[in-house]
Amino acid sequence: MLSFSEQLPIVFNSLNVGFLQTLKLFLVTLAGSIPLGLIISFGSMSRFKPISAFSKTLVWVVRGTPLMIQLLIVYYFPGLVLHNPIWGGDESGRFFAAAVAFILNYACYFSEIYRGGIQGVPLGQQEAGQVLGLSKTQIFFKITLLQMIKRIVPPMSNEIITLVKDTSLARIIALQEIIWAGQSFMKGSQGISGQIWPLFFTGVYYLVFSGILTVLFNKVEKKLDYFKT
């Protein structure tokens, strides 16, 4: 039995490795879902019926089912039903599958936030751009976008902080993120067993990380405070 001070470096090393995986999943999800969400939100707002119907159905299905089920489907469906395990069994395959499920899930949530943000910008802003002879693309990027961003920062920061914690769901497909790492010391790993404190301690990682994010989002909000919509 290792003493507590001997356990510490082992546990922290393990938690750090797990947290790195958590962080990686978090960043990849954001990088993918922020632009994909925009595409889906344009899809939902499209006047071309098949596209808006497709986007709305997608959003309905993804928001209407638990992320945990989506993770299981994304990871196991190709092998179970299509007989082609595209992800493979190793850690990187599990990570990719998790990233795909998370990106899709969060893109759908983001798309609804974007839609609210875009539709919340007064129509007059668009018309002002139109009578000045600007194109739709110019109007979106030069006029609507920043006003939309200002509107969506509070709901987005909420959703993004939820994402930090949601990453822990990925352990259902055995992605070894920080909770998995913490839990392993209960069952026994690297000579330490029956220890529950590492699992509880993962909460500190989450807390610190979401604290940093909160500060960042407040900064962005402050930065956009100079104008009123």
Partner 1 sequence: MKMKKIIAVLMAVLMIAACFAGCGKTSNNDNATVTDMQYVKDKGVLVVGITDFKPMDYQDADGNWIGFDADLAKEFAKYIGVDIKFVEIDWDNKVMELDGKTIDCVWNGMTLRDEVKNSMACSVPYCTNAQVIVVPADKAEQYKTPEACKDLQFAVEAGSAGKDEAEANGFKYTEVKDQATALQEVASGTCDAAIIDLLMAGAMIGEGTGYKNLTYTVSLNSESYGVGFRKGSDLVEQFNTFFAEKVANGDVQKIAETYGVQEALVK
Partner 2 sequence: MALLEVKNICKSFGKTEVLKGIDFSIEKGEALSIIGSSGSGKTTLLRCLNFLETSDSGTITVDGEILFDGAENIKLSDDKIRKNRLNFGLVFQNFNLFPQYTVLKNLTLAPTLLKKGDSATIEAKAKEIIKKVGLEDKVDFYPCQLSGGQQQRVAIARALMLSPKILCFDEPTSALDPELTGEVLRVIRELKDENTTMIIVTHEMNFAKNVSDKVIFMADGVIEEMGPPEQIFDNPQSKRLQEFLYSSLNK
Which residue stretches of 46-90 are H helix? 49-64, 67-80
133-34-75 Cα angle (round to 5): 145
Among 30, 78, 116, 125, binds partner 2 (CB under 8 A): 125
How many whole angstroms from its chain centre is CA 70?
14
Subset of 114-143 contacting partner 1 (CB under 8 A): 135-137, 140
| Binding segment toward partner 1, per CB under 8 A, in 82-90, 111-119, 150-158, 201-209 | 82-90
Q: Is the CB of residue 8 less than 8 Å from the CB of residue 164? A: no
Subset of 34-73 contacting partner 1 (CB under 8 A): 39, 42-43, 46-48, 51, 54-55, 72
Please, which residue, 46 or 210, has the CB nearer to partner 1? 46
- Residue 195 zone, left/alpha/beta (φ > 0; ψ -120 to 50; rest): beta
Please, which residue, 38 or 121, has the CB nearer to partner 2? 121
Q: Which residue has the tokens 């949530």?
A: 109
Among 145, 172, 213, 220, binds partner 1 (CB under 8 A): 172
How many residues belong to the site for partner 2 (CB under 8 A)?
A: 23
Q: Is the CB of residue 33 less than 8 Å from the CB of residue 25? A: no
- Residue 176 zone, left/alpha/beta (φ > 0; ψ -120 to 50; rest): beta
Under the rule (CB under 8 A), what is the footprint of partner 2? Answer: 122, 124-125, 127-136, 138, 142-143, 146-147, 150, 226-229
Under the rule (CB under 8 A), what is the footprint of partner 1? Answer: 1, 39, 42-43, 46-48, 51, 54-55, 72, 75-80, 82-91, 93, 135-137, 140, 171-174, 176, 184, 186-190, 192-196
